Structure 1
Amino acid sequence: MLRRFVALLSAALLIPATASPATAAPLPGQPESAISSPDQDSVLPLGTPVLITGTARSSAPITAVDLSFDGGQTWESATTSDTWWAVDHTFTTPGPVAVLSRASTATGVQPAPFPQRHFWVGRGPRAPLNCTTCSLRLPNRVDTTFTAVDPDPRPVELGTRFQVDRPGFITGVDSYNAYDQGEGVRLGRLWTADGELLGEATLAYPWSSTFTFPTPIPVQPGVTYVAGHYVPWGHYPVTENYFAAAVVQAPFVVGQGAGVYRYADDGSEGVPTESYANSHYSVTPVFASPAGVPAQDRVQSSISSPGPNNVLPLGSPVLVAGSASYRTWSSAPEKQITGVDVSFDAGQTWESAAVRGSFSQATWSTTHTFTSPGLASVLTRASSASDVQPAPFPQQHFWIGQGPQALLPCTSCALTLPGRADTTFTDTAADPRPVEVGTRFQVDRPGVITGIRADNRHYPAEGTRAVRLWTADGQLLGEVQSTQTSLWEFTFTTPIPVQPGITYVATHYTPWGRYPVIENYFTAAVVQAPFVTAPNAGVYRYADDGSKEVPTESFASSSYLVTPVFG
């Protein structure tokens, strides 16, 4: 029997794939599209239209942009104008959702994999902010017309109703005024929707655009506020039908019909409540996060595997892994990483992961069986001896069972096995018999295998090593030999074509045995586009007689650190 030992594979043994942009580079002439609003991981309202916008470009005119809300099974058309597009969509099912976009010209359609952005519908974890001081940047609608100066001359207070998704402060109001013949003082105000005036600032110059309150004004989720702009000369800017749908841009949520006004012919003050044709009057609030512990002093976590948008198996355990750390390594006892929790239901429940590390840095892993098809999300939070990671928590989105192909994070992609915190790495097994060890795998798209990576820690050694690519039923597809004991990446003379739906075996033959091993590594599937390895993917075959056959035996769900390279 092949004897193994339990171990953790250190990160130093794993060669990470090269990072790439979030979208694949199009071929010359091919159209491309992108989603610009709402932001990634935003929580969108259920049962009410939401504005979704983006861009498209090509060397030829864009003729159409289509969106999919069901993983690419069906598509609906957006309104386009030059390089911009927009659509109002009503989400009717709560939970995670992905939106895909594709652009077309008269001669071609954007190829898969399509750009996608993930959201939560109804409820979900807060999206992280991409700003310290956040202005509400309303996205471009291509189905409306902007009027810079309305002919209406009456004194008026214009405004925008909004809510926030987290506590913070409103520091001011942004406004727009193109009428430069007016006299008097403009006012920026913050109201509650029921009429309480919370703050006010003045501007005497017609062309000034930002009102800053003397003191930042606290705001809370669940309360509707109105950012107001009083202009004594009227002639305000207006975009009719802009607020036909909700606009979501963390930390702001702006509902349908959010644009409001109130005439002030008598000079009185009051919160604007009237609305007309879903108009927008170019009034937006400015939000600031509350002061807190600097980010570099807080414990944090991340998810490294599976990669974003990977398609995971349904009903079979999958390895989920990542890291936890402080930004700067420390041996202080209070910064010892003590735990990592993982949530598979948007933060409603949490389960503990296995953790291993040194003081302020650690790796974590867990296995999970996904039982519902469709889009799924995983959240993590880390703990140390003195801190718990605050929300918003890092999250990764996946497709369960089936879904659109994930964009590859590399040009030449090696299967990089993530570290498992509940195993131990043995770099040189005591077994001296000639043996061929390997990893069974499939690919999720057509391509080629350009080589195989294999680790050897036994020195000195004599003989010829070999790596081979087999089909699971025993057909030898390619082989490379070497007498170098330190060589860890072998390259095939000719890349070998591979196809989805076929199980292949990447193998490493060592005439001296003494292979590296991690018992219990493959108790769950490892998914890392374009590769999928099932449970018990590690295999071996003794070769005492020098014969050459595909390995089929397995022991203790072991990994022998043999991985293919996809090109």
Structure 2
Amino acid sequence: MPDGKEKIGRRRRPPRVALIVLGGVAVLAALLWSAWVLTPLPGDTRPVDPLTAPVSGEANTTARDRGSSVQLNQVPDHVVRAVLAAEAAAPAPEAGVTLEGLARGLWFALTGRGTGDFAITQRMAAGQHPQDHSFPRRVADVAVAVKAALSRSPEWVLERYLNVLDLGGSRGLQAGARAFFGKDVQELSVSEGAYLAAAIRRQDPAGDAASAPVTDLRARWRAVIDAMHRQGTLTAPQAAAQRFPATLAEDRAATRRSPATRPASAGVSAPSGGAGPRIVAATGPATGAPARAALTSAPRKTAKVAKVAAPGEPAEPRRKPARRARQNCPPGSIICLENELPGNPPSEWDVVGAGSPDIQGYPTQISVNHGDTIDFKINTPATDYRLDIYRFGWYGGMGARLITTIQPSVPLPQTQPDCVSDAATGLVDCGTWAVSASWAVPATAVTGVYEAKLVREDGTAGDSQILFVVRDDQRSSAVVFKTSDTTWQAYNRYGGNSLYFGQPANRAYKVSYNRPITTRGVSNGPPNYFFNSEYPMLRWIERNAYDVGYISSIDAVVRPGLLLGHEALLSVGHDEYWSEEMRDNFAAARDDGVDVAFFSANEVFWKTRWEPSIDGSDTPFRTMTCYKETLANAKIDPSPQWTGTWRDPRFSPPSNGGRPENQLTGTLFIINGVVNDAIQVPSQYAAMRLWRNTSIANLQPGDVATLSSGTLGFEWDNQPDNSVAPPGLARYSSTTLSYTNKVLLDFGSTYGAGSATHHLTLYRQPSGGGLVFGAGTIQWPWGLDAVHDRDGAPIDIRIQQATVNLFADFGLQPATLQTDLVPATQSTDTAPPTSALTAPAGGSTVVTGRSVTISGTASDTGGGVVAGVEVSTDNGASWQAATGFGPWQYTWVPQTAGDTTLLVRAVDDIGNLQTTLDSRPVTVVGSCPCSLWPSTTVPAVLAQPDSRSVELGVKFQTSQEGAILGIRFYKGAGNTGTHVGNLWTSTGQLLARATFTNETATGWQQVDFPAPVQVTPGTTYVASYFAPAGHYALNQDYFTSARVNGPLTAPTSTAAGGNGVYRYGSGTAFPTSTYRSSNYWVDVSFSPTSLFPSTSVPAVVNASDARAVTLGVRFRALVPGTIRGIRFYKGSQNTGTHIGTLWSNTGQQLATATFTNETASGWQQVLFSTPVRIDPGTTYVASYNTQVGRFSYNQNFFTTQYNSPPLIAPASGVEGNGVYRYTSQNLFPTTTYKASNYWVDVVFDAD
């Protein structure tokens, strides 16, 4: 008892009890005897006619025109067997009577419960009077059942039962067959018969059949099919082949026909333009967020009338709403039936912020299955308080419904112990608190997000909210709504710490679910809580009565089976914190064919892991751990698991990060909040099926539709073409915006100035996987419903219709669609679009560092439209999005020389991806002088605020011989003063230095050395410049991967012993320090000098031919420059005097020189007395003459063009290459043989 007193027991009086029992038995026996004598059996010639019998749940109405009775021989055997399977009966009808069965029948009659051998007979009797549930009627039904069992055949009983069974608005199999499938019972298939058997409703003990819980028909249907298999009616293959049938009322097949237009919910009027009702307090007009009246309450018990008043307003009674008629709901729509019940206004269920600090609590589990018990731990000095249990939904716009009120289960006031904490991690765990109250969740409770509102009743005002999820693990809803409770907890500061605030690192590393959630009450907390985006999404889904179930984020971790078997899964709002298990389970559901919608942004950003509580109970999955190692720039989590951002690859392996979130979601976080912008839809997206039946579909060329303000926010994603982007990403919109300090510049630490582009996206997982929609914005639900935390624009009917369209393509249909929206059907388009390349031509040669326009066409003839074109420039290793949907183009700047293949593929607006690809081979040749980065490259940070004098550099290598001509760097605003460029060996020896002159205000700057510096392939060098005023350009974490462009490579920081080097000081000096693999945007100008590396060795070093001969090579330069000399490879037998010559392609001698100081073998070189200027693109011939033959060669070398940018040697088939002429004189060579390479080369200096 609450006062702690115990009742004093009374002396038992057995004689009185015995008399009462005997008397009751006598009265019951008399009633049964009277019923036996006075109650006739139903007529033998015809069962009760459902045409005139009242229909269950519809007083004073009949089933006229809904069907007619049937005889047993008219019902297919498989339908009869389905009914018996649903009744858990044996293969033959159990209509007989035994003493045990009679006892069960009596119990069923008196309580409305029962199964087994007497159940069908009893239900047949009760079905004759479906509206009469009085006790005398039930006694009479027992008598009728016993008479029938003793005097009539099982077939007689079964025939009458089949004509009175309750199918929720239709009585009897014939009526049900017509109502659900529009056909007679004789035409029912096996799956349709099982559907009707699964739909049979039992009367509850209170006699209100209409109020009995509607169980999941899909799950019950499968149970009936399984039972028919066990009974031998269906073989295993037959059972496995059955498919859930489509009905006239609720179509779950591919066509997904929508219900007819339905009237708006009673008591709710929609303003013009489709805006829904707004909940307002009695003290003022509507605003963008639900108004919240202050709550006052006098001390009272549940039995008393509760008064809830806004300031200055008279109190109104608080009462649990009475049930009302459910006229608008089709059979089986649990969510519709629930939301037809009257709701309660926000003034009753809402609180201000996080509520009163003197009454706070939390659930011992974030979700509970209906039929189980949930405990609450509450900390308050109150001597009296109550817990009002509400379910959130539509409820005519009220937003929640009072389910029940419970009282504390302990004496009050209850003193709770202190929470336990861990200073090393900042973890605060209040699991030490004792249970204060419990709610045994009824098995009839509808799945949803629930609230336990704590209300003080001891004379002191105070209230708060405890949110939790009620699951329905026994049914498979069409769509599952996952709450973002991990984010609620990440921002929850209860106890002083959160993952953003407190200790030990200005943030905690761990947070506990064993705490009250006060996120809504702290600065910038509301955007990160349920009422910002999840709540308006929930309201709209339930307003339209989609078949939805609810789970928590923890359920997605520990109960992966709850993600399977649905049409779709939803991630909503600010769904930022995901563990490995949750991501893997979502991906597995997607791969299994479940569609996924991410109505979220910044989703799957931080990687978490789970630990038990530290309250002494070691309860699993109560501690969420996230060290945010990306911010630490180090592996600081003692677990080998990575707990930084999902995309951060720097410490994986051995950890398990480096998996960008767009691999799953299609989108990648880019804009940090808070922003409240609008999604834009240019006219080129108007034909996409997402926008059908909206004004966007009518956009004219050049028009741009702008959706409601706030729908692009409060954080949003972009869609990069990174290595893990899903193939075939369809885009439905395009919005490009610039910000001064909100663009993510690295893996998750740094935000600064820049621009980003947002797209609504969709892709189809290959090999039978599901569709994945990415809104890429947290506040898409703001367009669905205007009741949410924080101000926002009115609802946007275009977003509502687009969501209806998307859900239809997911196989989801509303039970009661808003009257101002248009029903949508599921796409039947399975044919992919086609695309083709028109430029460049196959076999073309393109140059590194120079823009190439790849273009083509695309079309779709399968019923959709092209929604994206993707181009690959590396034979399918990676793909990039092109611009345009019919005619399209992509600008390519080749970076690596060599042969490659261009590919193109198109995707349509339902995710069908082209698999037969058009392709074209091209050859990429280098363009030098060349650099690591083209002049079009712009750093992430143009000017770091650091103003100290500093030397900044980069480590690099070349893959071929050549010379460094000079130094380059990117200059941002503030990077002033005199800059000096340096080239160093890896050990700090200065090789060259030059001072920059004639600089521009910003952008790339370059200075050339007085003389080119020859470098050795594969050797590491350092290029640097001195910035006296700091403010250098920066990309952190850049050298976690190597940068390769043609012959130049900047190795990874790991491979180079640190890359991105610096040194603070007042003057120029060799830089050696590194930080976060940063790129300070220092570069070189490099020019290769020859066709062949000095490491090249011919296949045949000494030919057997000993005749005098002149041997040569045809070549071209891609850039202007000069030829300084000739090179050739000498075998040990190739002795004597050698003469090198440069010729025009027609045989004009341009320069000649005699080799001196030769080595015995290997590469030899001679320089002309005067370098010869050559024109780019013009063919020349380099040769040498030997008097003894014995030359070196490779046959079939010039069958293809040889590229060594900026020099190329054309293929022999073009002009004839690998030339020779037998002569003792130095004459022009013109003959070719087997495309041989005689290993003649030039020394080239590019301008």
Normalised to the residue count of structure 2, the TM-score between the two structures is 0.19
Q: Relative contact order (alpha carbons < 8 A, sep ≥ 6): 1 or 2 greater?
A: 1
